[in-house]
Amino acid sequence: MKQNSTKSLKWLTGAVIVLGLISLGIITSQTFGFFYGYPVQQRAEWIEGFKCMQMSIIVLRLAGTITCFALLLAFLFSSIKAQKNGVLFPRKNIGILFSLAAASFVTLFCSGNMHIVMGTRYITLGFTELFVPVIICIVALIYRNAVQVSEENSLTI
């Protein structure tokens, strides 16, 4: 059973790497497109007084996406390594999940406000920007309980 779940995690990690790299490539090309008009013909409409906010949204969207991708890979690699060592729930994944919740908020907030980069002057905060990080935090809290139970069971003879 241990070998089977490790194999599934490895396949999932491979899929995450492929899809994540595609997503990073698209968002990186869009980021360069906003500043330089190349490789994507999508220039930002700079508004005086909002230019700093517009630049922050563009850069934080890319940084947040990179961070989410890196944290997701860290979670998966940590889980694979722990399962090979016979640990079902590694403790360090709790912090990774809470960090992922914060990074996903930044990424979703910036993605939801890309209209500012295109020339509008209002900020939106939607349901998704709040819901996804809350769900990740709930999973992190459940994961923390699973770590505690797993550690207690490993001490029981």
Q: Using one digit for the tens of pLDDT, what is the confidence trace for 100-121?
A: 999 999 999 999 999 998 888 8
């991708």: which residue's tokens?
69
Q: Using one digit for the tens of pLDDT, what is the confidence trace for 37-55?
A: 777 777 778 888 888 999 9
Which has the higher per-residue pLDDT, 65 or 1? 65
pLDDT grade for 1, boundaries at 50, 70 and 90: very low
Its pTM surpasses 0.85: yes
Q: Could you count the other beta carbons within 10 Å of the beta carbon of residue 112?
A: 17
Task: Using DSSP, state whether 94 is helix, strand or coil.
Answer: helix
| Cα(82)–Cα(100) distance, integer angstroms | 19
Q: Give the contacts of 111 (CB within 8 A, at least 6 positions apart).
A: 61
